[in-house]
Amino acid sequence: MSALPPCPQCQSAFTYEDAGMYICPECAHEWSAQTDTASEPAAKVYRDSAGNVLHDGDTVTVIKDLKLKGGGGVVKMGTKVKNIRLVDADHDIDCKIEGFGAMSLKTEFVRKA
């Protein structure tokens, strides 16, 4: 007998299968048996302002002046940022900008160089 997955809503182990659907008797949640066999969810694709796919280690160019919060100052349009790191957070890019230090940027304000 194959092991059935726990309920994704209440984590109950008492799920059963009926006509291609998994059913939880505790919370009455129903979900498709086919979604369980799918592989892991697709990785997030990061795109710059022009739609180019970004990868870790890429070099990007800032496309508009960005005012810095807290410390004051401005990252000027055309500033090159080397060796970016993509992260799944509020801002998509972690990097170091010469003269400013460590910083987080959004992909909508950069273009792949």
Q: CA dihedral in degrees (69, 72, 75, 81; nearest 10)? A: -70
Mean pLDDT of the chain: 87
CA–CA separation, 26 and 82 (whole Å): 53
Q: Which domains does the chain have, with CATH numbers?
A: 1-36 (2.20.25.10), 59-112 (2.30.30.40)
Considering the entire predicted model, what is its pTM? 0.63
What secondary structure letter does DSSP report for 3? Answer: P
pLDDT reported for residue 29: 87
pLDDT mean over 6-18: 87
Per-residue pLDDT tens over the stretch 47-93 = 999 999 999 999 999 999 999 887 778 999 999 999 999 999 899 99
Residue 109, helix vs strand vs coil = helix
